[in-house]
Amino acid sequence: MNPLDNIYTNSETIDNLVEQLVKAIVEQKLVIFIGAGVSIAQGYPNWNNYVQKLINFWNSKILSDNPGIRMTTYEALEAINKSHLSNKRKIDLLNVVIKEIYGEEYNEVRLEFEKNFFGEVQPYSLENEILRWLIDLTPAIYITTNYDFEIEKHLLRFKSSEVVSTINNLTEFFRRQTDLRGNDILHIHGTYKGNSKYFVASSTDYSKTYLREDGYNYKGFKKLKKVIRDMNPVILFIGASMEEDEVLSLLPMTDKDNVRRFALMKADKLASPQSMEEYRRLYSTFFKTNYGTELIWYGDSFEDLPLFVKELVNRVKARLQENKSTYEWNALNSKQTPSEEYSELFKAFLQANPNVIDDHFEKAIGNADILERVMSEAFKDEVINQAVEQLNFRRLISEKFTDFNEEIKEKVVNLFLEGKLNKYLGEKLIYNLYKKIPSEKQAAIAEVISSALYIIVTDFAKEARLMGKWLVAWLKADEPMLYISDDEKISDVKIYLTKSELSMLKQDATDINHFKSYWPLKDILEDDKWKLVYKLIENKCIYVDETPLLEVLPEELLDIEIIKRILIYYDNCYQNLSISAKERICEKINWEKSYSGSELNEFIEHNRRFLEKKGIIFKDEYIDAISMSDMGIISEKSYIDGEYIINSSVEEIYQRLNSLEDKHLPTDDSLTDRTVEATWKFILEKLTEHDVTSNKLRELLLVKGKDLDVKYLELFKSISIDEEIGSELQIVAKKCYLAKRSKFRFTNGDKEFFSYFIDNKGTDDLDVIDNLLTTNLTQSDEKKEKERLDSFELLNSDKGRFAHCLINLAIGAEKYRERVRQIAIGFVDSRIRDFILGALYQPHEELSYISYNTFLGYCYTHRAVNEEVANLFTGVVSLLLKTEEIVPEIYGCYSVLLLNYLVPSEYANEINWSNKYWNNLFRNIIIQDLDYKYIDDWGELITQNVQTILGTFLTCIHEEEASEKRLTKYWSYFKNPDFKYDRINLSRIRYSLERNLTARKRRIVFEILVKIVKENKVKSWNVEYDLEDVVAKLSSSEKKELAKALWASELLTPERREVFIKKKLE
């Protein structure tokens, strides 16, 4: 049977309790009053047993501390314990004894029993079932008369220590700057961690707290009464006897028809069922009438309470689905959760939000109850790879390694052996873990982690034998990616090479001696790999069997050409190698090769006498096998320069320019083209000057220009359109250009040339116009990849550039319009034909060809759209609604056609909403004061279908032209729960809040923030960091509103969410 459906409480009462708890949680006005009954369920003593244990403790302690004390004192304490005095009075008398014996130390020793009993002795059950379920009623304020810290311990199993706050007594509460907040635990009778003066146990303590205005705790008591009165919270009493009038005096009178206080009570069986039913009625009436408290009878056995609380909490949780992730988080961290359910939760969180599992690992570090279960789950094959990625998993295995059983320890070692920890070797905690592993297993691990080349800059660099394996891997690596700055300290590093490792190097010496060994040494030492090797040698970090490298110089290392050269360079710098070391190096040098490295020259200079004495025959000079200049890049230059022009005749310059072959020039075509470009640009620049070179070049062009090669076409074009050069030379250049250009092409230069004359010289230059109109591209029928012209093709194809100039000519001179039309009709490429005809369209003119390209041409030259135009292009526009791409060139006319002539409901199911055009159209609807027939219908339809539109709307808010009325109207569409939208970047919200917006616009921005937070639609690399930036721009009332939205979201993990709310929003 459901515990809530017991015979003692009707369903209406339970429903009301659930309703009140739900409201209280939403409003963050729930107070849970925990009495001694909750702690008793976990094994703590009841009030009578507590007093008995307390007196026994002091009897024993007093005898121990004072061996010579009179037996009458001991017997008196025994008498007090057995007396019929109230427990409070017994403690009064005990305190008199303690004061008499300990004097001034009384306040220091008074709570010795409590420190021991509640601080060190563990209850028989570490997890309290009642508290476990109450934690789900979050966020709640806890008030308790209990001396223990079980509420705190349970809260900390599920929450961060940053949000859980203990208030040790009422005086501490009085002195506190803030009132009560969620996850506060107020111990109204004190704890052993507080000042003993404010501990409430005896009759005198109660009097000073509740009755005497000069009492220690009275001010705190008054403050608490005021806080409860002002907050008017829902209060749920659990485990409280409701017999302490002092505690009940906290409750202000309330309307008995609007009860906000509830107490869970046990239904005793003291008489017949009928009598007890009347007893409960009288009891309930008394509390409801005098204290505004509804009594809820949970059952007739104390064992019924945990089950009743669990079902009550589940009923509340069912009403608060927005907090689902919090409940699942609590279940994840509770040992009461069945194993199968725990496993499912673990895997679900790991996939959906690994940060939650990272928090879970952190909880396991401090919670021995769940440690074994966590480790068992984490090491499952389908989980372990993701688990290792979590920082707190790595913390967990590092800090708790010695607590693990042998099976788990072996699995941790395997993480090293399988290379799963190689990415994290830079973390000190991984090194600490390595040091905890037995030495016989460290050797195997060293073989694996030595391949992680960056360990030289980690704590693993302290492991000399491990670093020997690393050095072998480092030397064998092709291009190790590791930057070591010049000031990086490596002098403390020690590297021990063994014979077997040297043998490995000898086997790979040929591979290590790759082509780089022929470089100049200074360039080799700029390479990160060899730069580090030199630093290690320079700092004497390398040892061979614990003997410094420079004392032995093993053959295996000298066989590596670069190391040999580095050692020579080292001796050049420090000149401190021993004679035997130099001898070994010299034996490995090929003195007959002149390209053995330029560093040998200095080595010979420093060691000449030594070399001659050894009978070594060396050359006068040694060089590097490869000079870096050999790998240089040839750059293009002009054929001619100023000096050449001055020293050469016009004919010689002409011959030089016209030469198609020149031994001084590279033969690569691309470089030749760039050299020609550099040449004509040089000539053009010189022509603007007035000196000898300029005059000679002018003479060259006037006399020989017509004979210059066609490769200088760009020069003639540039001169033709450059007003600074002078008309005489411009005329010659124009003629040359027209004569040399191909009429079967239309280059960028052609477009620039003809556009210049059409735009600046009118249409009077018949030579230019005739040349343009006789260009023959109409028969060109190149392969068409797309039926629709696009911007790229119009700008970058011959036909597109040609069409541009034809259209400009026809628009600029009416007399050429018909001829251009005829040229257009003659195009084999129908796309160009339709484009030109559309561009030249005039009212009432018949269009034989109507296509997308016709509409594109129309948009190219027109801005106005009337009913005639709408009738022409409605078919085209309706087809465009289905396309994925709407090009910006048609936005203007296309938008007018949509907003004024197309009924959106007729096309709603055919539209492709993925095009960014819709954002542009929506922006215009918001920003511009447009008055079109269907503008509102299109605006609403866009908000329903374009998922990126909320971001566009947010941008529009910044615009001064965007009216508050239009913004408010469209914001109402976005509020629809069915509205689907993409994530919004928090930086955009912050930017909006920083703007000088009107109050209404700012409010809309804030409401967008609340919406995206509540619905988990935030885009951010670091949500918490970006959210903090946004919160800094909010008012206190906005922060409270945002806190409610954040409670309902899953942007942050349940634990981090509470921390953020408490620290940043309360």
Strands 261-266 and 165-167: unpaired
Identify the three-state secondary structure at position 261. strand
**Predicted local confidence at residue 911, as pLDDT:** 93
pLDDT digits (tens, 9 = 90+) for 178-227: 889 999 999 999 999 999 999 999 999 999 888 888 888 899 999 999 99
> Is 60 exceeded by the pLDDT of residue 661?
no
pLDDT digits (tens, 9 = 90+) for 910-945: 899 988 899 999 999 999 888 899 999 999 999 999
Closest CA to 953 of 925, 913, 987, 930: 925
Give the contacts of 580 (CB within 8 A, at least 6 positions apart).
Answer: none
CA distance 1059 to 361: 17
- The full DSSP string for 85-130 is S-HHHHHHHHHHHHHHHHGGGHHHHTTHHHHHHHHTPPPS-SS-HH
Structure tokens at 697: 């070049």
**Predicted local confidence at residue 237, as pLDDT:** 96
**Predicted local confidence at residue 527, as pLDDT:** 84
**Predicted local confidence at residue 5, as pLDDT:** 82
pLDDT band at 667 (very low <50, low <70, confident <90, very high): very low
Residue 1045: its H or E element: helix 1036-1047
> Is 60 exceeded by the pLDDT of residue 666?
no
CA distance 45 to 35: 12
pLDDT band at 662 (very low <50, low <70, confident <90, very high): very low
**Predicted local confidence at residue 635, as pLDDT:** 41
CA distance 839 to 851: 12
pLDDT (mean) for 23-29: 91
Average pLDDT, the chain: 89
CA distance 762 to 718: 19
Which of 919-941 are b and which e, b meaning 16 or more Cβ less than 10 Å from the residue's Cβ? bebbbbbbbeeeebebbebbbeb
Least confident window among 129-133, 487-491, 502-506, 711-715: 487-491
> Exposed (0-12), middle (13-18) or buried (19+): which is 301, by Cβ within 10 Å?
exposed
Position 83, amino acid: S
pLDDT band at 88 (very low <50, low <70, confident <90, very high): very high
pLDDT (mean) for 341-360: 94
Please give the DSSP secondary-structure letter assigned to residue 329. H
> Exposed (0-12), middle (13-18) or buried (19+): which is 829, by Cβ within 10 Å?
buried
> Is 70 exceeded by the pLDDT of residue 74?
yes
Beta-ladder partners of 544: 497, 547
Give the contacts of 254 (CB within 8 A, at least 6 positions apart).
Answer: 232, 260, 261, 292
Is-above-0.85 flag for pTM? Answer: no
Q: What percent of the chain has pLDDT over 90?
A: 62
> Is 60 exceeded by the pLDDT of residue 664?
no
Under 8 Å between Cβ of 964 and 998: yes
**Predicted local confidence at residue 781, as pLDDT:** 63
The CB-side HSE value for 386 (13 A sphere, CA atoms) comes to: 19
- The full DSSP string for 357-384 is HHHHHHHHHT-HHHHHHHHHHHTSTTTH
**Predicted local confidence at residue 338, as pLDDT:** 93
Strand order through the sheet with 165-167 = 165-167, 184-187, 141-144, 30-34, 234-238, 261-266, 293-299
pLDDT digits (tens, 9 = 90+) for 791-817: 888 888 999 999 999 999 999 899 999
Position 1002, amino acid: R
**Predicted local confidence at residue 330, as pLDDT:** 92
pLDDT (mean) for 888-911: 92
> Exposed (0-12), middle (13-18) or buried (19+): which is 607, by Cβ within 10 Å?
buried
pLDDT band at 513 (very low <50, low <70, confident <90, very high): low
Structure tokens at 680: 């004509």
CA distances from 145 to 33, 108, 238 (A): 8, 22, 11
pLDDT band at 243 (very low <50, low <70, confident <90, very high): confident
Which has the higher per-residue pLDDT, 1060 or 761?
1060
CA distance 201 to 47: 10
Closest CA to 1024 of 998, 991, 1066, 986: 986
- Angle (CA) 348-353-355 rounded to 5° is 120
pLDDT digits (tens, 9 = 90+) for 722-781: 888 888 899 999 999 999 999 999 999 999 999 999 988 777 788 999 999 999 988 766
pLDDT band at 873 (very low <50, low <70, confident <90, very high): very high
**Predicted local confidence at residue 665, as pLDDT:** 39
Q: Which own/partner pairs from 60-68 qualify as long-range (CB within 8 Å, at least 24 positions apart)?
A: 61/112, 62/97, 62/98, 62/101, 65/101, 66/101
**Predicted local confidence at residue 632, as pLDDT:** 37
Q: What percent of the chain has pLDDT over 70?
A: 95
> Is 70 exceeded by the pLDDT of residue 855?
yes
**Predicted local confidence at residue 485, as pLDDT:** 65
Report phi then psi at 121, rounded to 5: -80, 130
> Is 80 exceeded by the pLDDT of residue 883?
yes
CA distance 443 to 378: 26
**Predicted local confidence at residue 321, as pLDDT:** 73
Position 311, amino acid: E
Give the contacts of 576 (CB within 8 A, at least 6 positions apart).
Answer: none
**Predicted local confidence at residue 800, as pLDDT:** 92
422 CB neighbour count, 10 Å cutoff: 17
pLDDT (mean) for 164-187: 93
Residue appearing with tokens 């590092």: 398
User: How many helices and strands, by DSSP H and E, does the chain display?
Assistant: 58, 12
Structure tokens at 98: 């303690």
Least confident window among 162-166, 428-432, 504-508, 524-528: 504-508
**Predicted local confidence at residue 983, as pLDDT:** 95
pLDDT (mean) for 609-618: 91
pLDDT (mean) for 854-859: 94
pLDDT band at 169 (very low <50, low <70, confident <90, very high): very high
Radius of gyration of the chain (CA): 45
> Is 50 exceeded by the pLDDT of residue 893?
yes
pLDDT (mean) for 329-335: 92
pLDDT band at 163 (very low <50, low <70, confident <90, very high): very high
pLDDT band at 637 (very low <50, low <70, confident <90, very high): low
**Predicted local confidence at residue 671, as pLDDT:** 55
pLDDT digits (tens, 9 = 90+) for 561-605: 889 999 999 999 999 999 999 999 999 999 998 888 899 999 999
**Predicted local confidence at residue 670, as pLDDT:** 54
pLDDT (mean) for 1029-1051: 93
Under 8 Å between Cβ of 1042 and 993: no
